């Protein structure tokens, strides 16, 4: 608190020096006090950068006899216990997987998310190939990109546990990959 | 660089604008007393910044508002500081508003031609208070919920339009999703937009008329301010003295030292100050930049320091999630509404008209007087009327606030309620931790399926009219009722039910016949008493029998000793069937024995207790001998009639789990 009778610490006959000091102090304090709320806010904003990745998740999707023998792919929903910020869901859908039976000892699994931009891949109307409705990427049933497909890579194959497959159970390690790049990069 | 600047300047005029903003002449030189407007601008800027970041994490709905604030407070990195700054800046803003108002009035800066600027200022004051009020609800915790309920009910008594007004404000007949979405839109949209618009006008008008030059520095002028500061600091020290018990000692020391310093300065001024007529020096005009901004920056920095001090010292409270069915006696409005809160308890404000008088007319008249100040202050006398009125208002505000807090601080019921609220808040945190997250239905559902929370409540409502659940050292009931040890209790004390200690007491005639067990029931003179009298059980016998019987209960708290004392327990079971006067003569034990007394198979286990509470008159338990205890679940009487129960399965289970101590606890490792 000031009172009018106090003497200035700086000589009044040196206004430039006084002003320089005032300007410096104002700018330093001003910068400091704006950076506190902004800094704290930005730190909170960037919190997702240090949060955990989705991670790999091994799930049982079907039994071998559930899949058609003619090799037609079938879509399965992946449901898992997941925490979304504060909410804990016992059964939260986190993605879906195409399963395709080659024979009783071999099943292939594809993440249904399109490697182009992440839309959900479907099977085309004549049932001959995978087809993405967003940008018309198409993939053959082995997952490879077809013809002039815009996708930079084929569908992402997921690992099927071969030991459990021998017992007739299809367990898949569900992983998500980065869209839009030529390499399979886990996210 | 120069070229780029000129290019930009020619197209935007930004340089000229900055110059205009910064190089404002301050007549009579920069003064510390001019800083309050700038501190408010700074505070609002802080609120906007932190508010927008909080917005990114907040979710306004009845099942996510509390939960998202919980997340901000406890899990989001830096979230608690962010919320803390927002909360405490809001508190300090109220103080700054008052200081700004005082400065404007005592410097008569409201006089012509500045009336409009004053009026805009008063409107800004009310918008700021409205922003605080709407923000108070947003965490959707018990405190905000109940305070807002009171505030909106007060809006509901406004003559003629009140009912409709209330419905519109809360978004329906009941408080819920739409109350939150509406309050949020007000708090983060409409009110801040209005604030910005009015601040622009306020600052435009301020610049148009220029600063009101305060009187030149003189001893009298200086003394005036020092006396004000003396009153303020002595008042602060006095308040700190009144609440010395609930604060660390430095809370008392700092304002006391401040007051002493101010008084010393006043004495010094009286002794050495220069003569009144010769102002020290007719100050040269100053410039806004850097002369005034320098002072503004220092005080704004101090304001931020004070905010951070409170953020780290006091933290930011989040009371348990809002529960309309669970009264929250510790509910209070934000501190600056406490005078109004207290005032409504006074006698002139009783009854329907009294409420309208206290909640609408009196604040309305006071606000009108505030608005009238520029007109009253046209004459010098009017100005002094204004100054006195303002001091009386502030004095009344302070006295009422202190009274309100003092009243709470000396009210044991309020203190107990605050303690209970804190315990419950901690319990919610624990439950969220145990559950590793909050269920989609919201945090309240955790409390509703928690035996530790619900057990005492259900017990208080349904059981405590006959039973007790122990007492603390001062003789207050432990079940959440207000019962005292001396109150007559007509059925057994159920604390520790099924434990060895509890069963030992049932097997000891003095306890059995005391008022704490069966003393006020017809079992005081029953076959069990005959048995206890004739068998003359030794302490050792009781110990073994209790250990055996208690092992049937399978209590979590006794699992260690149940596993350890296998020999004692086996012996105990043997004694039950061996003696001349055997337990099995009347009771079934492990499925075999008499049917005169209650079946003791799995005695006091979860299922046994649920079945017992469900229907004590069942032949498995008391049968026709039952003394007054009702069936709490639907039951069929011996005549074949259906007797509806008072409770449902889930609630009986909650009571049983609470009685048996079957709930997650922090220090118990799973």
Closest partner residue to B49 (CB to CB) among A2, A22, A41 is A41
Report whether B72 contacts B79 (CB < 8 A).
yes
Q: What are phi and psi of A102, to 5 degrees?
A: -85, -55
CA B366 to chain centre: 29
For B:43-82, CB contacts with A below 8 A are: 45-46, 49-50, 52-53, 56-57, 64, 67-68, 70-72, 75-79, 81-82
Q: Are residues A22 and B293, on separate chains, in Cβ contact within 8 Å?
A: yes
Token reading at A124: 């085309």
Decide if A58 contacts A175 (C-beta within 8 A).
no
If DSSP codes are grouped into helix, strand and coil, which group holds residue B355?
helix
Whether B222 sits inside 8 A of A5 (CB atoms) is: yes
CB of B83 within 8 Å of any CB in chain A?
A: no
Give the sign of the dihedral formed by CA B630, CA B635, CA B641, CA B645. positive
List the single residue in A with minimal CA-CA distance to B68: A86
The nearest CA of chain A is from the CA of B442 a distance in Å of 8
Contact B85 A38 (CB under 8 A): no
| Residues of chain B found within 8 Å of residue A43, distances taken between Cβ atoms | 77-78
> Closest approach of chain B CAs to the CA of A95, in angstroms?
19
Q: Which chain A positions have a beta carbon within 8 Å of B298's beta carbon? A: 25, 29
pLDDT-above-70 percentage for chain A: 91
Closest approach of B33 to chain A, Cα-based (Å) = 8
pLDDT, tens only, B553-569: 999 989 899 999 988 89
Residue ranges of chain B with pLDDT lower than 50? Answer: 278-279, 668-670
Q: Which residue has the higher pLDDT, B130 or A50?
A: B130
Give the pLDDT of residue A52: 72
Residue B337 has which token pair?
């509404």
Q: Do B280 and A4 touch (CB under 8 A)?
A: yes
3-class DSSP state of A84: strand
What pLDDT, on a 0 to 100 scale, did the predictor assign at position B249? Answer: 87
Whether A44 and B225 lie within 8 Å, measured CB to CB: no
Average pLDDT, chain A: 88
Q: Cβ contact (<8 Å) for A88 and B75?
A: no
**Is there a contact between A37 and B50 if contact means CB atoms under 8 Å apart?**
yes
Q: Which residue of A has its CA nearest to B438?
A: A87
Q: Cβ contact (<8 Å) for B53 and A5? A: no
Q: For residue B77, what pLDDT is reported?
A: 93
Measured between CB atoms, which of B45, B78, B291 is closest to A40? B78
Coil vs helix vs strand at A170:
strand
Instruction: Answer yes or no: is pLDDT of A173 > 50.
Output: yes
pLDDT category of residue A13 using cuts at 50, 70 and 90: low
Minimum Cα–Cα distance from B38: chain A residue:
A30
Contacts of A8 in chain B (CB under 8 A): none
Read off the tokens for B121. Answer: 């200022």
pLDDT score of B579: 63
CB contact under 8 A, A83 and B75: no
Best of B70, B255, B301 to mutate (most A CBs within 10 Å, chain A): B301
The closest CB to that of A88, out of B77, B274, B435, belongs to B435
pLDDT for position B476: 79
| Measured distance CA(B93)–CA(B204) in Å, rounded | 21
* Contact call for B85 and A45, based on CB within 8 A: no
- With CA atoms as reference, the chain A residue closest to B65 would be A86
By CB atoms closer than 10 A (0-12, 13-18, 19+), residue B549 is buried
The per-residue pLDDT for range B268-314, each reduced to its tens digit, is: 888 876 655 544 555 677 888 888 899 999 999 999 999 999 999 99
B33 close to B289: Cβ distance less than 8 angstroms: no
Contacts by B43-49 with C-beta closer than 8 Å and gap 24+? B43/B89, B43/B92, B43/B93, B43/B96, B43/B303, B44/B93, B44/B195, B44/B199, B45/A34, B46/A37, B46/B85, B46/B86, B46/B89, B46/B304, B46/B307, B47/B86, B47/B89, B47/B90, B47/B93, B48/B192, B49/A37, B49/A38, B49/A41
Residues of A in contact with B77 (CB under 8 A): 43-44, 47, 50
What band does A78 get if pLDDT is binned at 50, 70 and 90?
Answer: very high
Answer whether A88 sits within 8 Å of B439, measured CB to CB: yes
3-state secondary structure of B107: coil
- Nearest-by-Cβ selection for B290 from A3, A23, A34: A23
B81 interaction partners in chain A (CB closer than 8 Å): 40
pTM for the structure as a whole: 0.87
Residue B248: what are its φ and ψ, rounded to 5°? -65, 160
Would you say residue A46 has pLDDT above 90?
Answer: yes
Residue of B nearest to A83 (CA): B437
Per the CB < 8 A criterion, the answer to whether B338 and B409 are in contact is: no
Residues 6+ apart with CB under 8 A from B291: A19, A22, B26, B29, B30
- The helix/strand/coil state of B9 is helix
Contacts of A33 in chain B (CB under 8 A): 42, 297, 300-301, 304
- Give the closest of A1, A26, A33 to B290, CB-based: A26
Name every residue in A having a CB less than 8 A away from some CB of B. Answer: 1-5, 19, 22-23, 25-26, 29-30, 32-34, 36-38, 40-45, 47, 50, 83, 85-89
Nearest C-alpha in B relative to A32 = B301
Nearest-Cα residue of chain B relative to residue A16: B290
Given a cut of 60, is residue A1 above it in pLDDT?
no
pLDDT for residue B535: 80
- Whether ipTM > 0.90 holds is no
How close B81 comes to chain A (CA, Å)? 7
Please indicate whether, in this complex, the C-beta atoms of B301 and A29 are within 8 angstroms of each other: yes
B247 to chain A, closest Cα gap in Å: 26
A81 contacts in B (CB within 8 Å)?
Answer: none
Q: Is residue B477 classed as helix, strand or coil in its secondary structure?
A: strand
């Amino acid at each position: 608190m000031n009172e009018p009778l106090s003497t200035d610490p700086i000589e009044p006959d040196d206004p430039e020096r006084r002003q320089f000091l005032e300007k410096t102090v104002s700018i330093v304090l001003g910068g400091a006090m704006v950076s506190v709320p902004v800094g704290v806010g930005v730190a909170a904003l960037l919190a997702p950068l240090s949060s955990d990745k989705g991670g790999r998740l091994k799930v049982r999707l079907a039994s071998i006899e559930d899949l058609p023998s003619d090799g037609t792919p079938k879509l399965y929903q992946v449901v898992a216990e997941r925490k979304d910020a504060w909410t804990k869901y016992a059964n939260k859908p986190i993605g879906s997987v195409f399963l395709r039976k080659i024979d009783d000892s071999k099943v292939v699994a594809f993440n249904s998310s399109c490697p182009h931009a992440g839309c959900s891949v479907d099977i085309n109307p004549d049932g001959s190939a995978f087809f993405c409705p967003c940008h018309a990427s198409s993939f053959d049933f082995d997952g490879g990109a077809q013809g002039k497909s815009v996708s930079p890579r084929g569908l992402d194959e997921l690992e099927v546990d071969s030991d459990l497959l021998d017992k007739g159970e299809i367990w898949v390690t569900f992983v998500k990959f980065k869209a839009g790049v030529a390499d399979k990069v886990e996210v | 660089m120069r070229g780029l600047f000129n290019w930009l300047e020619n197209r935007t005029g930004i340089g000229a604008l900055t110059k205009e903003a910064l190089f404002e002449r301050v007549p009579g030189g920069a003064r510390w007393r001019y800083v309050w407007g700038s501190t408010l601008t700074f505070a609002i800027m802080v609120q906007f910044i932190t508010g927008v970041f909080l917005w990114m994490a907040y979710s306004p709905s009845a099942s996510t508002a509390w939960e998202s604030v919980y997340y901000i407070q406890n899990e989001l990195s830096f979230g608690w500081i962010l919320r803390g700054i927002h909360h405490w800046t809001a508190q300090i803003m109220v103080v700054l508003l008052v200081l700004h108002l005082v400065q404007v009035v005592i410097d008569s800066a409201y006089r012509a031609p500045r009336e409009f600027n004053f009026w805009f200022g008063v409107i800004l004051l009310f918008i700021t208070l409205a922003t605080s009020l709407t923000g108070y609800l947003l965490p959707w915790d018990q405190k905000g919920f109940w305070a807002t309920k009171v505030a909106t009910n007060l809006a509901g008594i406004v003559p003629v339009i009140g009912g409709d007004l209330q419905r519109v404000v809360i978004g329906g007949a009941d408080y819920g999703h739409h109350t939150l979405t509406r309050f949020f839109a007000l708090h983060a949209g409409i009110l801040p937009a209005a604030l910005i618009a009015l601040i622009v006008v306020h600052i435009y008008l301020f610049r148009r008329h220029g600063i009101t030059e305060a009187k030149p520095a003189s001893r009298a002028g200086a003394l005036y301010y020092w006396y004000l500061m003396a009153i303020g600091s002595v008042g602060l020290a006095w308040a700190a003295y009144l609440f010395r018990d609930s604060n660390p000692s430095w809370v008392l020391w700092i304002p006391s030292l401040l007051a002493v310093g101010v008084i010393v300065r006043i004495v010094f001024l009286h002794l050495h100050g220069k003569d009144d007529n010769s102002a020290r020096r007719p100050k040269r005009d100053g410039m806004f930049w850097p002369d005034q901004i320098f002072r503004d920056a220092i005080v704004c920095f101090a304001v931020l320091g004070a905010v951070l001090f409170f953020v780290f010292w006091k933290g930011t409270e989040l009371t348990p999630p809002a529960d309309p069915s669970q009264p929250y006696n510790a509910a209070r409005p934000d501190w600056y509404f406490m005078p109004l809160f207290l005032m409504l308890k006074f006698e002139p404000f009783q009854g329907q008209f009294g409420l309208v008088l206290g909640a609408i007319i009196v604040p309305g008249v006071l606000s009108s007087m505030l608005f009238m100040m520029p007109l009253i202050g046209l004459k010098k006398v009017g100005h002094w009327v204004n100054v006195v009125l303002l001091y009386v208002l502030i004095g009344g505000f302070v006295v009422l606030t202190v009274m309100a807090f003092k009243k709470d601080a000396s009210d044991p019921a309020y203190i107990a309620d605050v303690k209970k609220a804190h315990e419950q808040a901690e319990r919610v945190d624990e439950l969220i931790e145990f559950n590793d997250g909050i269920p989609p239905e919201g945090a309240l559902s955790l409390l509703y399926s928690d035996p530790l929370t619900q057990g005492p409540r259900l017990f208080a409502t349904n059981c405590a009219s006959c039973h007790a659940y122990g007492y603390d050292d001062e003789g207050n009931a432990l079940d959440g009722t207000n019962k005292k040890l001396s109150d007559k209790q007509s059925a057994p004390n159920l604390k520790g039910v099924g434990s060895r200690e509890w069963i030992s007491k049932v097997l000891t005639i003095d306890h059995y016949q005391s008022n704490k067990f069966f003393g006020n029931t017809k079992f005081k003179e029953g076959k069990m008493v005959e048995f206890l009298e004739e068998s003359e059980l030794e302490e050792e016998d009781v110990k073994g029998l209790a250990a055996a019987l208690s092992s049937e209960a399978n209590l979590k708290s006794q699992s260690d000793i149940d596993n350890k004392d296998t020999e004692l327990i086996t012996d105990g079971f043997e004694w039950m069937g061996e003696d001349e006067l055997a337990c099995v003569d009347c009771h079934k034990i492990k499925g075999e024995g008499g049917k005169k007394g209650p079946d003791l198979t799995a005695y006091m286990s979860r299922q046994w207790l649920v079945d017992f509470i469900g229907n004590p008159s069942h032949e498995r338990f008391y049968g026709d001998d039952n003394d007054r205890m009702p069936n709490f679940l639907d039951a069929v009487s011996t005549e074949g009639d259906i007797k509806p129960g008072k409770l449902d399965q889930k609630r009986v289970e909650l009571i049983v789990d609470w009685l048996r101590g079957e709930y997650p606890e922090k220090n118990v490792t799973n």
